Amino acid sequence: MGCSTFIVAILVLVSLHGASCRMLAADAGKERYVRADLSQLTGCRRGQNQAGLASLKRYLNHFGYLDSEGADEFSDEFNEDLEAALRTYQLNFNLNASGVLDEPTVQKLIQPRCGVSDIVNGTNLMKSGRHRHIPGVGHFVMHYAFFAGMPRWPDSQRNLKYTFSTDNQQYGAEQLRSVFSAAFAKWAAVSPFQFAEASDGEVADLELAFYSGDHGDGRPFDGPGTVLAHAFAPTNGRLHFDADEAWLPDATGTNGMDLESVAVHEIGHLLGLGHSADINAIMYPSIGAGVRKVDPNSDDVQGIQVLYGSK
């Protein structure tokens, strides 16, 4: 299949900032991503030159799959490096590692996802493939990952307080609190942590907020589409959601995004977890509209308990 005309929708410049989820991104040179109609590139393969491939390269660069060719110098050539980056992406997401932009790959690329990178400085965290043997049960492959340096909350902080620094126009205050209380409870059930909303005047460990576009942390949101939320590694404590997404308290079977599902994922980042290659894990990078996934699976539980021990 040939490539058709590709129209770039939005280019967003994202700069690295603080001890954040961007610790899982590669270097400061890998700081652009694109929200665009990638479906127009279906069928592209090595050797072709097609408008829009430069934007795809920026996307893959942003999530750690492709080294920078220089600031603003990504070309529209489907070269060997792009083919290799696509193969790695396809392996991470359990796709046919052909290096071709086939339909399943395009559908995964356009699926909403967390803004955390999958590869850091050439280290592919999603396919780390650690093995564990449980006597009498068998061998398991574990896909959980951590931030660089495995930052964690100190032993003295197991009762974390959270606060809402902005309102969300899609929810009343009580409904919003109910969703997040349920999300925090998922991690409290499998770790030593307890979570509670900070009272007036009380210092909070975690700050939750909804923002549109550029909101001052160097990582602007792109509107409905690619990046749903971003969080910061321990012990920064900030968690930001794109206010322009169609958030629903239960998005099952709809065109909206399930707020609790994304909240559980991002809280995992707040506690120190990176992304998992296990498609059933909470810490898997992407989630489709209308999908609800709120319960940590065995891979998530193993990861959080490596960091902090069992409940």
Beta bridge pairs of residue 161: 196
Residue with the two structure tokens 């299949």: 1
DSSP-derived 3-state class of residue 253: coil
Q: Residue 24: name the closest of 99, 116, 141, 152 by CA.
A: 116
Interior angle at CA 196, CA 192 and CA 202, nearest 5? 120
Whole-angstrom distance, CA of residue 116 vs CA of residue 129: 19
DSSP-derived 3-state class of residue 286: strand
Which letter does DSSP use for residue 25 in this model? S
Catalytic residues: 266
Omega within 30 of 0 (cis) for the link into 235: yes
Residue type at position 239: L
Q: Which residues contact 69 (CB under 8 A, 6 or more apart)?
A: 57, 75
